Amino acid sequence: MKRKIGVLGHVLMGAAAVLFVLTVAQATGYAKKPEPASVTMKGDKQGAVTFDHATHAAKDKLNVACKTCHHNLDKTPGKLACGECHKAEKGDAPSIKDAGHGVCLKCHKEKKGTTKAPTACKDCHKK
């Protein structure tokens, strides 16, 4: 019996170690760069999109989870810029328009009426 608990103990310790490594790996996905206060996505014909990154991410403000936007960081640590994968034309990843609208505009439409989240083209895109 004593021996069995020993084995279980090791299994649990192993699981804890794996969890620890995963947590650290996830943290370093962001840690290489400081969190920006404001972000400008360069856009194209429609014009650049600037938003307050700190306000969106802060727990006491809009509290949008990092992963809502940086959706694949577990798989590709360090790749934060949407444009690394999302290009003008759809390829391995959907187009940058579908990426931006799929996260940003989608939520803003859900929050329409209850918040000031912009949904008009010109309120996000500035030429």
- Binding residues (CB under 6 A) for ligand HEC: these are 30, 33, 35-36, 39, 41-47, 49, 51-53, 55-57, 62, 64, 66, 68-72, 76, 79-86, 92-94, 96-105, 107-108, 111, 115-121, 123-125
- Least separation, in Å, of the C-beta of 19 and ligand HEC? 20
- Least separation, in Å, of the C-beta of 21 and ligand HEC? 19
Nearest to 84 by CA among 97, 96, 75: 96
Paired strand residues for 40: 50
Judged by beta carbon, residue 4 or residue 33, the one nearer ligand HEC is 33
Q: What gap in Å lies between CA 74 and CA 29, rounded to an integer?
A: 7
Give yes or no for a contact between 125 and 44, defined as CB atoms under 8 angstroms apart.
no
Q: Three-state SS for 96?
A: helix
Q: What token pair was written down for 6?
A: 């020993």
Judged by beta carbon, residue 13 or residue 40, the one nearer ligand HEC is 40
Judged by beta carbon, residue 13 or residue 48, the one nearer ligand HEC is 48
Which helix (H) or strand (E) segment holds residue 68: the answer is helix 66-69
Judged by beta carbon, residue 11 or residue 76, the one nearer ligand HEC is 76
